[in-house]
Amino acid sequence: MPEWWPPVEFDPSQFNPERISSYYLDFSIVFDNWQAILQALLITITLALLAEVIGIALGLALSLLKISRSKLLSFPAQLYIDLFRGTPLLVQITIIYFALAPVGIRFSSLFFAGLTALALNSAAYVAEIFRSGIQSIDKGQMEAGRASGLSYAQTMRHIIVPQAFRRVIPPLTNEFVMLIKDTSLVSVIGLAELLRAARVLQSATFNGTPLIAIALLYLAICLPLIYLTNILERRLNRRTA
Amino acid sequence: MAKKLRLTVLAALFLASGSLAACGGGGGSESGDSGGEEGGGSGGGETLTIASDIAYRPFEFDQGGEPVGFDIDLMNEIGNRAGFTPEYQNVTFDGIIPGLGSNLYDAAISAMTITPEREEQIDFSDPYFDADQSLMVPEASDVESVEEGLESSVVGVQIGTTGASQAEGFQQDGLIGEVRTFDTIEDAFSALDNGQVDAVINDLPVSQDRVNQSDGALKLVQTIPTGEQYGIAFPQDSDMVEPVNQALQEIKDDGTYAEIYEEWIGRAPESIPGEETTGE
């Protein structure tokens, strides 16, 4: 190891299997507090689902604005997307809840503060997913639509967007997985979602098991979705190949 | 290309570790060292890592990159007399006990109340501060006490504190509508400023300090006498407990304790913990 390498100590004498199992695997703490965990799980899931729905609606609108040929429409959309993709979500959540009071915006509900931050953030990513999806549809589709007498908006609505939607389902599912994991960031404002609930338990019991338990819960939710994304992607590839 | 990338990653890691070390020193290892020298002259002795959640005026807070406050002055003085140089590491309060448990720190001073539950995990010094809890509300609030007017209110607390468990107890008794936990007491205070919580239950001296600084926007309406006492925390079976207790006793006896107390709490101590109870 070079001299400047930051020292990392590993003391094998500290390695204590008994302490490890009592610190990480004392699931009685979780079972004794199952109501709090269940409630937190519901909050996490509701938060992610609602944020995803709002994010998709907002994101679709943003993507259409962004690909518009009018600068007046595309510039604000671009600005929005850059703003939310270029700053950390944790910072956005903190600003939205703690620092909007001077402009007169005050969230009395933690849930809606968190939901707002997550949905606004997700919209920026979803917008990019839709944009690339829409732009991946062959130009000929638009030309054909226009040639058969449909307006730009009609062609978009009836021909382009429905085709794009199929293509963006895998990346959207992926975005949903990210969103589920990102709900944990909302714990910073005190909303009793999974991470906060686990930390409250951890701080009361000085035991790491609640954290392990919620990690397993996140896995149980996210892994099936990740595999679903993989299957969808494979199918889509087969069809387009 | 791959090599270049690896170098960049190494450089980034190096930089990151450098800044981590700076944070760990509580305002830079340089300033930590110089602090030790000017206060010390004790020849330094060994440098001990002292964990503290440095966002808890007037006990520990940051002033121009340096940790200052009652706890910091007390710990520096103890270090002087017991022959070690404290190096402060800023950590979250609820991470202190797990951190001591895995020997990440030599000790912790962070306005931490001595409780039986905590004593199962860590060792404490003799008590060094008599504290109570308090109920703080905005000036305009009608709330007069925990028992009246909080049934449908949201009360902010800091995670892992005695104030938090106190508030949860009140909630179970149906006195408080909802308890909201924040990572730092500053977050709870700022939610109170924004009207997002209706009250804060927290250590009396800290809330008192906040009220003093609020230009009349906040008030304390109730002292919740808990008779709790702060202690310096150590990993279990630490051999630091004895020398620290000895130094602490000296500091209490020769009047230094009262000086530090007055400087940070703004009045003479009503009691010196452990003094009136004989046989301590």
| ipTM, interface predicted TM-score of the complex | 0.77
pLDDT number for residue A106:
86
What length is written for chain A?
Answer: 241
pLDDT number for residue B4:
57
Q: How many CA atoms lie within 13 A of B215 on its CB side?
A: 1
Measure the CA–CA gap between A155 and B260, rounded to whole angstroms: 76
pLDDT number for residue B15:
55
pLDDT number for residue B14:
56
At which residue do the structure tokens 């808890």 appear? B56
- What value does the mean pLDDT take over residues A155-170? 91
Residues 6+ apart with CB under 8 A from A57: none
pLDDT number for residue A207:
87
pLDDT tops 70 at residue A35: yes
Q: Which residues of B138-157 are buried (b: 16+ CB within 10 A; e: fewer)?
A: beebebeebeebbeebbbbb
Which chain B residues are closer than 8 Å to A108 by Cβ?
195-196
Nearest to B20 by CA among A188, A203, A8: A8
Predicted TM-score (pTM) of this structure: 0.79
Yes or no: say if B4 and B11 are a contact pair by the CB < 8 Å rule.
no
pLDDT band (50, 70, 90) for residue A233:
confident
pLDDT band (50, 70, 90) for residue A123:
very high
pLDDT number for residue A1:
59
User: Other CB atoms closer than 10 Å to residue B169's CB: what's the count?
Assistant: 13
Query: Measured at the alpha carbon of residue A23, what is the angle toward residues A22 and A26, in degrees to the nearest 5?
Result: 55
Which chain A residues are closer than 8 Å to B17 by Cβ?
6
Measure the CA–CA gap between B128 and B275, rounded to whole angstroms: 10
CA of A42 vs chain B CAs: smallest distance (Å): 18
pLDDT number for residue B44:
62
Which residue in B14, B98, B181 is closest to A190 by CB distance? Answer: B181
pLDDT number for residue B23:
45
pLDDT number for residue B26:
38
Nearest to B256 by CA among B130, B132, B128, B131: B128
Asked if A188 lies within 8 A of B94 by C-beta distance, the reply is no
Residues 6+ apart with CB under 8 A from A27: A209, A213
pLDDT number for residue B42:
44
pLDDT number for residue B40:
39
For the CA atoms of A192, A196, A199, A204, what is the dihedral angle to 10 degrees? -20
Q: What mean pLDDT value characterizes chain A?
A: 92
Dihedral pair phi/psi, residue B243, rounded to 5°: -55, -35
Which chain A residues are closer than 8 Å to B156 by Cβ?
190
Higher pLDDT, A3 or B279: A3
A156: DSSP letter: I
pLDDT number for residue B13:
56
Interface list for B 109-138 with A (CB within 8 A): 117-118, 121
Which ranges of chain B have pLDDT less than 70? 1-44, 276-280
CA of B172 vs chain A CAs: smallest distance (Å): 14
Asked if A206 lies within 8 A of B97 by C-beta distance, the reply is yes
pLDDT band (50, 70, 90) for residue A238:
confident
Which chain B residues are closer than 8 Å to A4 by Cβ?
14
Measure the CA–CA gap between B157 and B165, rounded to whole angstroms: 9
pLDDT band (50, 70, 90) for residue A22:
confident
pLDDT number for residue A121:
98
Asked if A190 lies within 8 A of B194 by C-beta distance, the reply is no
- Summarised one tens digit per residue, pLDDT across range A141-156 is 999 999 999 999 999 9
Lowest-confidence segment of A80-84, A100-104, A212-216 by average pLDDT: A100-104
